[in-house]
Structure 1
Amino acid sequence: MDFNKLIDRIGIYNHMCHESLITRLLLDAGLTAELVKRWKEHDLTGVVSRFVATDGGITRVYPSSAGEDWTENPETYESSFYKRSLDNDIYIFTAPFFNKSGESALESGILVSRALDLNISGVHLKPAVVGVKLSVPAWKERFITATMKINCKDEICGCLSNDKQVDCVLLDDGGFLLMSNRDKYIAQIGQFFGEIDPILMWKLVNTSLYSSNKMYDYQSVCDPERESKAASGQHSVHIPTIADVLQIGWWASAAAWSILQQLFVSLTFPSFLEAAVDMEGDLSEDLCKESCITEQTQYYFDSSNQSFGGVLDCGNCSRMYRAEKLQDTNLVFIITDAADTCIWCDRRPLKQAEQPSTGPDPCKLAENPRYRKRPADCFDEHEKEDDTDCGGSSSLTPSLWATVGSQLVLLWLLAGPRRYRS
């Protein structure tokens, strides 16, 4: 139902509505509508869309066609760019999600945002975050133009498009690629730079331009490791031999026990088999997983220095690099000898994404123990606590007579005489 029609019908003072929130919502909707009128008067070259996200929860995108492809979280306080813009008084560049399957997300553009800071009678307010989405091809042209030197006679005069000798990149504060002078890197915008140029990213970490923080998930699931045939150990389940298979008695005994087990389960838990059939498809993939520990590494700017430089020594060759943080942004500009000019460098990727891990070193953890803070008050008992529903959530309640009857049948089968063909 249309929101305006609903408000006109029931009114904002209805008992089902939160008056202050509805009033704030209508106010933000009116203010952002006026902002769109201003946007229509000014056409910006190289901008895919413009947007505003308010403190009241309104996100308005212009033009409206760009709103159909809006992939950010509609809840402003759950959106990454919104929270980062509020916490930093700079322009925040956000890389698009990189899909390893090859599907490009560059058509939506590079998101740039900044919080609107107001000072009213000495009180600082940030009522909204405004921003744009830049066209990648247009931004690349401006990027190359901004790095070129005029009337230059040196060997290197800037970042030429697809230069075979020089790599120029823009990284954000998390180490993700945002722009490059080479088309093969443009297709990887949004990917962690440690998987594109590992040796350079290692150097940036070692020189304290970036620092890292590892986070472990002790309740994760992973694909089971494949064991080699030569390293297979003893099996806990009995595997029948050829002699067993050729005996009719063995087949009869196995079939009887299988039927008996199914009969026992169906009598004891009547709804179990039906639930198992319904859940078979959902559990098939989960059963192939195993419990494991995973780690994910977060990178961030560590040093307050603005300039960094050095040499990447790869044994038989070397590469020079220079890095410069861009003021009032979360970007760092890097110019270096092209990776193709030195093929001897280590190509092992530096990963940021979640991956299986053995966990932190227990010896290092023991050096800096962390203790759980005890609560100030005890909550183990309260006079108003109602524990009548505790333990009543199980749906597999066996029938008493079915359980007793199945036990008697099993006892009769086990106690009776059994003959086997010799």
Structure 2
Amino acid sequence: MPTAALPDEETAEAPPVRGATRPLRRQLVTALFAYLLTLVAAGFVVDWDTAKSKPPAEATPSPTKAAPVQATPQRSPAPPVRDVIPSIPEVTDVAQLDPVRQQSRVTARDNGQSVRYGDRSVWIFADTGLKSPDAFLSNTAVSTDDLNAADGITLTGADLAGTSGDLHDEFLPWSAAERAFEKKHAKGCIPGGDDEYCGVTFGLWPGPVIADPARQRVLVFYQKLCRGGADGGPCSGEFGQDLGTGIAAVDMRTFQTTRLTPRNTLPVQSIEGRDSALFFSAETMYSSAAVVAGDDVYVYGNCTDDSRCRVARVPLADITDRSAWRFYGGRDDDRTPLWVTDPLDAVPTIRAGAAGNSVTWNPALKAWLNVYSEFGEFEVRAQVGGSPYGPWSDSFTLAETERPSHGMNYAAFTHPEYAEQNGLVQYVTYYQQVTGGLHLLRVTLSP
């Protein structure tokens, strides 16, 4: 999969960040914790101090030539926005289907959010374990032209183009500064010695993905983190430290991925220096969920410790212009929504779960549907809302997941490109860490 390297970030004018950042949000913690358990269950353990410094083994490139994916730019009217809480639907049936069929080298990969682009469904994953030979990647992606989930979902392609061959590479590109930082601190140092970053590596965890056919691309929201090093170091701790969030663009004509650079904002400081690709710092990360409504994108994040998230709004055409972003600040006395420029003035409005949530418009329910799974629980939960920013209903149970003998289930997302009966039939996936499998549910609703 071709990727576009970022230009070198400026590092001379600002020193690296010192000391640990604030604790990880729950969804960030859960993803890594559960994946570690998966590796143990799968029979191999990743050496976190060296995983990123050791490139995965090369696989034979696929001879299949990827064809560009065509998507006709169409402006769909924004769904209605109402200042009322819709009725909670009745769940009339839940069917546990076969787990999603994965590429043969995959032993486990979590997250798993998707979007339709043209005649394909594009899927984005975070931490991925491979076999034959063993390898570890912090992100992978694939697409499929099978949009009928009634007989299951097959994701056996090797890359975003869905070509045949072996999966062997990450799709999010690393910057020259990140590669240089890891190389500098990977060898010739002693953990706990004078080099506080000895053994530290980066991770890029993708989350929600949206289609932007007018610009012939899909956009992927991701989290950047550092992990490893000596105990008490700036990236130490069982789960590392988050550094901020950004947006990557996949050109669906060439399948080249570029990490976008925000405009009209100050660069975010990272441990390797200033990172010009980060849109938000660790204090106000936005990468839990995203949904397009008309000309705007609603992006969810900056979540509280009890998994209540805030929402931002930005025109899709101006998504790289940070001065165009607005943040939901509640309603005034007349119930008029308040959109503020400072993300610190935003208010929590929606529930999220372990590894995030998915927000979609459901025509049959005439409501916005929010789907997620709580940390440590074995249920898929949901809310219905009058708009992408609420008001939202109380949480209700959408489905029970298959309870494993031990470990957790998490990362529950709905996939609207597979929905049937105008949204009354939903296909929901969740990740089971003990098996490394992505399980598939068919949920039938009644308004």
Larger Rg: 1
Asked if TM exceeds 0.5, the reply is no
Q: TM-score, normalised by structure 2?
A: 0.22
Q: TM-score, normalised by structure 1?
A: 0.22
Higher strand share: 2
Higher helix share: 1
Greater relative contact order (Cα < 8 A, sep 6+) = 2
